[in-house]
């Protein structure tokens, strides 16, 4: 295989030619990076607040309160029929601030080794990014696509503004996950680290993003446990001592700890590369998504809010995106419309432990920008025309149609090359 056989940690400063100079922190206060959509959302909040204040200043609010105070409130909660015997209540549609627009979020799995995370992965100073995906949600909310970005990808990294007003140095070529490390070193906080990764993804892909979401080791476990585990078919025994992964072949319901171990496992599986680990991470997320959809969590508002409350307690989010509204707007998405793939890439010439984008990557990014499926739809071949019988001849009897052989089921955990996609429909809950 072609990448990540060596050390997992980026070495800041060993980037090659093209590095700029590190600027010193200056000024005061915190500088934030905001998208135009976030500014629009903030303006909307400001207009609503202004309207409420104006309404109150007119005295109408006081009149309304006094009028309602004259009404005798009758509590009949214990008198109405049980909910199961009543017509169903209408399900509210939570506000989706980005309704009608595609949504692009940078998902980051951090390698934080402090607090509860130290008990899982071992205590270490600093913070690193372990996994990064670009999440694209189509404007009509019918598709969800997640594109993994190799952490060992060699690309240009821009200069990033960090908390405190300083900037990080730019590089014409560096390892992708150094963007997170540089932001962390420069700003000493998660906002600086994740925003630098977000800006690097934008420069690399040409995709405008609406924010980022960061989850750590402990948070990922919490998400899985909130689902009561993730059912998966494990085709063969899987063991990796470094991540504490020990799974036997067969139908399994992975706990949060087991799911995290699978997501982190690398050295003891396949060829030990990060490329194939990304594929297994995608398979795990595909199974989680299919589990959520099969449990109708997205169509049951109380369950949705309960799940999101448990899941989002471990998330760090930017961009002002309303996850509850966004998740509820995806309630009708089908498992086969949730697609996972690794951005097309291959070995860097002269260094098999690093990867570079291939020509096919440009097409994937262009499809995300255009809000088109990242995997082009294949048109079905036209149906064969039945030949007409010559005049006076016996009618032509069409051949008996044969049942096409069903394609072998996809094994989501099998090694997949970058650019080869799976969907949540491919996830196998049982063997």
The half-sphere exposure of 304 on its side-chain side, counting CA atoms within 13 A, is 21
Q: What is the pLDDT along the chain (431 residues), one digit of tens a residue?
A: 444 444 444 444 444 444 443 333 333 344 444 444 444 444 434 444 443 433 333 344 343 344 334 444 456 566 556 778 756 665 655 666 677 889 999 999 876 544 444 454 444 555 657 789 999 999 999 999 999 999 999 999 999 998 888 999 999 999 999 999 999 999 998 888 989 999 999 999 999 998 888 887 677 788 888 888 999 999 999 999 888 999 999 999 999 999 999 998 988 888 888 889 999 999 999 999 998 888 777 777 677 777 777 666 667 788 777 777 777 788 788 999 999 999 999 999 988 889 999 999 999 999 999 999 999 876 555 666 655 555 555 555 566 555 555 566 789 999 999 999 999 999 999 99
Number of compact structural domains in the chain = 1
- Return the percent helix, strand and coil in the chain, to nearest 5: 35, 20, 50
Is residue 380 one of the residues assigned to a domain? no
Is residue 132 one of the residues assigned to a domain? yes
Give the domain CATH number at 265.
Answer: 3.40.630.190
Is residue 229 within 8 A of residue 284, CB to CB? The reply is no
Is residue 188 one of the residues assigned to a domain? yes
The domain of 307 spans 102-374+412-426
Is residue 16 one of the residues assigned to a domain? no
Is residue 224 one of the residues assigned to a domain? yes
CB atoms within 10 A of CB 331: 17
242-246 contacts: CB < 8 A, separation 24 or more? Answer: 242/266, 242/267, 242/268, 245/269
Is residue 26 one of the residues assigned to a domain? no
Is residue 67 one of the residues assigned to a domain? no
Is residue 206 one of the residues assigned to a domain? yes
CA-wise closest residue to 38 among 186, 212, 168: 212
């Amino acid at each position: 295989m072609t990448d990540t056989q060596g050390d997992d940690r980026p070495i800041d400063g060993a980037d090659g030619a093209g590095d700029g100079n590190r600027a010193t922190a200056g000024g005061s206060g915190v500088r934030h990076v905001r998208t135009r959509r976030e500014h629009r959302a903030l303006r909307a909040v400001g207009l609503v607040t202004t309207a409420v204040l104006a309404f109150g200043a007119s005295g109408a609010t006081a009149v309304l309160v006094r009028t309602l105070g004259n009404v005798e409130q009758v509590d009949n909660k214990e008198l109405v029929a049980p909910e199961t015997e009543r017509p169903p209540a209408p399900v509210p549609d939570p506000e989706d601030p980005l309704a009608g627009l595609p949504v692009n979020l940078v998902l980051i799995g951090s390698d934080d080794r402090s607090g509860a995370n130290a008990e899982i992965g071992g205590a270490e100073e600093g913070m690193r990014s372990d996994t990064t995906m670009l999440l694209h949600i189509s404007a009509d909310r019918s598709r969800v696509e997640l594109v993994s970005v190799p952490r060992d990808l060699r690309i240009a990294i821009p200069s990033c503004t960090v908390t405190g007003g300083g900037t990080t140095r730019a590089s014409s070529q560096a390892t992708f996950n150094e963007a997170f490390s540089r932001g962390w070193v420069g700003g000493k906080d998660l906002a600086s680290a994740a925003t630098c990764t977000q800006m690097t993804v934008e420069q690399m892909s040409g995709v405008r993003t609406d924010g980022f979401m960061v989850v750590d080791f402990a948070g990922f476990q919490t998400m899985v446990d909130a689902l009561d585990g993730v059912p998966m078919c494990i085709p063969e025994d899987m063991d990796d001592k470094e991540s504490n992964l020990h799974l036997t072949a067969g139908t399994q319901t992975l706990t949060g700890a087991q799911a995290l171990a699978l997501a982190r496992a690398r050295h003891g599986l396949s060829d030990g590369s990060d490329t194939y680990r990304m594929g297994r991470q995608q398979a795990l997320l595909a199974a989680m998504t299919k589990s959520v959809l099969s449990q109708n969590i997205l169509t049951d508002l109380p369950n949705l809010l309960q799940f999101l409350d448990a899941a989002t307690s471990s998330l760090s989010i930017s961009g002002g995106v309303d996850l509850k509204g966004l998740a509820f707007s995806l309630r009708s998405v089908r498992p086969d419309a949730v697609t996972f793939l690794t951005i097309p890439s291959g070995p860097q010439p002269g260094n098999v432990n690093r990867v570079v984008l291939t020509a096919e990557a440009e097409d994937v990014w262009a499809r995300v920008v255009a809000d088109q499926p990242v995997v082009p739809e294949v048109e079905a071949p036209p149906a064969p025309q039945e030949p007409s019988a010559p005049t006076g001849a016996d009618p032509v009897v069409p051949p008996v149609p044969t049942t096409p052989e069903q394609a072998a089921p996809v094994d989501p955990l099998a090694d997949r090359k970058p650019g080869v996609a799976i969907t949540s429909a491919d996830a196998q809950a049982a063997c």
